[in-house]
A and B are shown apart, each in its own frame.
Chain A
Amino acid sequence: MSNVLEVTGLSITFATPRGNLRAVNDATITLEQGESIGVVGESGSGKTVLSRAIMGLLPGTATRTGSIKYMGNEISELPEKELRELWGTGMAMIFQDPMTTLNPVRRIGTQLTESLTVRLKLSKKEAHEQAIELLRRVRIADPEGMMRKFPYQLSGGMRQRIMIAIAVSCKPELLFADEPTTALDVTVQAQVLELLSELRKEFNMAMILVTHDLGVVAGHTDKIAVMYAGDVVEMAPTRELFNNMKMPYTEALLKSIPRLDTPTGTRLPVIEGRLPDPTKNEPGCPFADRCPYVADKCRAEKPPLKDTGNGHLYRCWFPIGGEK
């Protein structure tokens, strides 16, 4: 079994007072052992909902169709009690905000050894030793001292390292990182991303890295899925995506990143407008109103997901580099 994760035709809708909000439409993603995928999109594109749905962390207002297979077993219908058995040892998650995801009134040591004693059934002493080893692994200078600290005594970067140590403590097969570096400084971001890549190779974990910044995923993933308004609009191996981009949206997202080599005083290219209302189901391509290459066909009919054959999928009538 080489596929850790197979998501097929996953759709998620939320019941809201304004009608059904379509958060994810018909997403299909597979992930092999040790492979990493970057899920990229703006706020509201459905990227976080997608990863939470796979984890089984959706609120009660959500309805879901489609299949989620973990190591070949269907998990989308599992009751929470059985799903819990997978958390930690099978799938683990790192959240965006390291300030609020740690328990503020418990020591780091207690939080770190909890999963080790509960999941791996280690004795207290073994768990303590293992925890020290983990802290050393995420490059905490004084692991013994760290075990006795409380979260408020740590910087954002330190807390995110602790979160990573907790997430990988039971050697999961699949690691979710939901905007793990968005709350951090660029220098600390670089360190945390490098640490994640190292750990992934060491433990042969598959990883889903959710972010709004194409720059973050460029050097740290095997493939990338770009999401827009709930649709996966382009998916390709990382190098193929950057070298042979098909979707106008991906291009626009890439161009809007402030770069060090843009001349001073120039205007940054922006994506005008906003995401369409997710409670309305308009015909046509959801990006049509903001797309620089829009044509009549785009407003009339929604483009299907096309496969170029080499693992590159896109959802556009008039792809970049194609015939117009």
Chain B
Amino acid sequence: MAGSGKAHMRPDGDRILVVDDLTVEFNLGRGKVVKAVSGISLDLIRGETLAIVGESGCGKSTLGKAILQLPKPTSGSVNFLSKELTSMNKHDLREMRPAMQMIFQDPISSLDPRLPVSEVLAEPLRVWNRGNEVEINEKIDELLRAANLDPAVVRDRRSYEFSGGQCQRISIARALALDPTMIICDEPVSALDVSVQAQILNLLQDMKDRYGLTLIFISHDLAVVKAVSTRVMVMYLGKVCEVAPPDDVYLRTRHHYTKALVGSVPIPDPDRKISAGLMQGEPPSTIDPPSGCRFRTRCPAATEQCVNEEPQLREVAVGHFVACHHPLED
């Protein structure tokens, strides 16, 4: 896997985001460099939901943050709404912020515990001068109702009075306050119970339809992503393995790593054990990643070619791209 390449890019589409050859490295000193994201390219067409899937440490969150310039990537370009973000100065970048929002993994710690909910939502509106106090108040009520919360009940409460699911609804309302074009959701449901997960996933879907949003959805769980995404990108150790529509990812898996991910999803059926045997051990270090294909050290199909030559993304079926020298048969 773990290849580079741009075969999956769609220059003809109505693209709101084009990320080209993005690299994020963290210098640890003493000559050690963590290569968190290594040459990733992706594009986002208006209205779609791109899911980025991978294990902890694969660089999926770093990629999401680097797109928002938090912090700026080491190299590569991020073009959002036809403007290049990487070369922008602080002031211009700030002007772009309302259009690109983020929802974080831990809903409780991402809200200020001292602020009542109405203030949490009013803050961005005041900072950006979105109307007078009356208009702001109306907007807050509208946002809360959209997130299935009763404004009369929740307005004056603080985050510690809510459950995780309710906090995540408030975070979603806050992300929507400035009418963004794109929202990056970083593991928005992994801290929640399964029963609440479904509620939040449905809410995100509703919001997307209602406000015409484009989403990037970061998760480690393919099953969660399946329900909400229109395109899935599987990452491993800072590189791309496979890009495909969600049905193809699990029905016609072509990459060995994706197969392991699919096999790890817990299935509520006592007769079908989840197969951990597909992949053992931990991912190698991003300080000194393997040569060639970065997945080769855990891959059952690795050969000499995988050691010497990095696979590039290529199209194996319509809209289905894989970076592997020895992909699985359809």
A interface footprint on B207-227 (CB within 8 Å = 1, 0 otherwise): 000000000000011111011
- Of the four ranges (under 10, 10 to 19, 20 to 34, 35 or more), the interface on chain A belongs to 35 or more
Q: Is the CB of A264 within 8 A of B274?
A: no
Could you tell me how many residues of chain B have their Cβ less than 8 Å away from some Cβ of chain A? 51
User: In the complex, what residues of A have CB within 8 A of residue B268's CB?
Assistant: 214-215, 218, 242, 254, 257, 259
Q: Is the CB of B282 within 8 A of A264?
A: no
Q: Is the CB of B201 within 8 A of A258?
A: yes
B interface footprint on A150-162 (CB within 8 Å = 1, 0 otherwise): 0000011110000
Known: A158-B282, A186-B221. A268 touches B227 (CB 8 A): yes
Q: Is the CB of B223 within 8 A of A191?
A: no
Residue from B193, B197, B264 whose CB has the most chain A CB atoms within 10 Å: B193
Please tell me if B156 contacts chain A, counting CB pairs below 8 Å. no
Q: Is the CB of A270 within 8 A of B267?
A: no
User: In the complex, what residues of A have CB within 8 A of residue B202's CB?
Assistant: 267-268, 270
Give the distance to chain A from B94, nearest Cβ to Cβ, in Å. Answer: 34
Known: A156-B56, A189-B266, A219-B274. A271 touches B205 (CB 8 A): no
Within 8 A of B (CB), among A157-214: 157-158, 185-191, 193-194, 212-214
Please tell me if A64 contacts chain B, counting CB pairs below 8 Å. no
Please tell me if B246 contacts chain A, counting CB pairs below 8 Å. yes
Q: In the complex, what distance in Å separates the CA atom of A269 from the CA atom of B282?
A: 34
User: In the complex, what residues of A have CB within 8 A of residue B56's CB?
Assistant: 155-156, 185, 188
User: In the complex, what residues of B have CB within 8 A of residue A157's CB?
Assistant: 282
User: In the complex, what residues of B have CB within 8 A of residue A256's CB?
Assistant: 194-195, 197-198
Q: Is the CB of B195 within 8 A of A258?
A: no
B interface footprint on A95-118 (CB within 8 Å = 1, 0 otherwise): 000000000000000000000000
Please tell me if A239 contacts chain B, counting CB pairs below 8 Å. yes
State which of B201, B260, B266 has its C-beta within 8 Å of the C-beta of A268: B201
Give the distance to chain A from B259, nearest Cβ to Cβ, in Å. Answer: 11
Give the distance to chain B from A218, nearest Cβ to Cβ, in Å. Answer: 5
Please tell me if A43 contacts chain B, counting CB pairs below 8 Å. yes
Known: A256-B198, A260-B250. A239 touches B271 (CB 8 A): yes
Q: In the complex, what distance in Å separates the CA atom of A190 from the CA atom of B276?
A: 5
Give the distance to chain A from B157, nearest Cβ to Cβ, in Å. Answer: 15
Known: A186-B261, A239-B270. A270 touches B195 (CB 8 A): yes
Please tell me if B108 contacts chain A, counting CB pairs below 8 Å. no
Give the distance to chain A from B166, nearest Cβ to Cβ, in Å. Answer: 9
User: In the complex, what residues of A have CB within 8 A of residue B261's CB?
Assistant: 186-187
Q: Is the CB of B197 within 8 A of A253?
A: no
Known: A253-B194, A253-B195. A187 touches B266 (CB 8 A): no
Known: A43-B163, A186-B266, A218-B267. A155 touches B193 (CB 8 A): no
Please tell me if B164 contacts chain A, counting CB pairs below 8 Å. yes
Q: Is the CB of A193 within 8 A of B269?
A: no
Q: In the complex, what distance in Å separates the CA atom of A266 from the CA atom of B223?
A: 13
Please tell me if A139 contacts chain B, counting CB pairs below 8 Å. yes
Give the distance to chain B from A240, nearest Cβ to Cβ, in Å. Answer: 9
Please tell me if A67 contacts chain B, counting CB pairs below 8 Å. no
Within 8 A of A (CB), among B226-280: 226-230, 245-247, 250, 260-277, 279-280
A interface footprint on B274-303 (CB within 8 Å = 1, 0 otherwise): 111101111000000000000000000000
Please tell me if B110 contacts chain A, counting CB pairs below 8 Å. no
Q: In the complex, what distance in Å separates the CA atom of A160 from the CA atom of B202?
A: 32
Q: In the complex, what distance in Å separates the CA atom of A186 from the CA atom of B274?
A: 10
User: In the complex, what residues of B have CB within 8 A of residue A213's CB?
Assistant: 194, 266
Please tell me if B199 contacts chain A, counting CB pairs below 8 Å. yes
Q: Is the CB of A258 within 8 A of B276?
A: no
Q: Is the CB of A259 within 8 A of B223?
A: yes
B interface footprint on A237-277 (CB within 8 Å = 1, 0 otherwise): 01100100000000011101111101011111111001000
User: In the complex, what residues of A have CB within 8 A of residue B264's CB?
Assistant: 186-187, 189-190
Please tell me if B151 contacts chain A, counting CB pairs below 8 Å. no
Please tell me if B47 contacts chain A, counting CB pairs below 8 Å. no
State which of B221, B230, B270, B272 has its C-beta within 8 Å of the C-beta of A258: B221
Q: In the complex, what distance in Å separates the CA atom of A174 from the CA atom of B223?
A: 32
Known: A189-B264, A194-B276, A216-B266. A264 touches B195 (CB 8 A): no
Please tell me if A78 contacts chain B, counting CB pairs below 8 Å. no
Known: A193-B274, A215-B268. A139 touches B194 (CB 8 A): no
State which of B57, B194, B279, B280 has its C-beta within 8 Å of the C-beta of A257: B194
Q: In the complex, what distance in Å separates the CA atom of A258 from the CA atom of B199?
A: 11
| Pairs across A and B, CB under 8 Å, 12 listed | A139-B280, A155-B56, A194-B277, A214-B194, A218-B266, A260-B226, A262-B227, A264-B227, A264-B247, A265-B205, A268-B202, A270-B195
Add 8 more A-B contacts to A189-B264, A193-B276, A214-B268 (CB < 8 A): A43-B163, A155-B56, A187-B276, A190-B275, A194-B276, A216-B266, A238-B270, A265-B228
Chain A residues close to B by CB (< 8 Å): 42-43, 139, 141, 155-158, 185-191, 193-194, 212-216, 218-219, 238-239, 242, 252-254, 256-260, 262, 264-271, 274
Which 3 A-B pairs give the minimum distances between C-beta atoms?
A215-B266, A190-B276, A268-B198
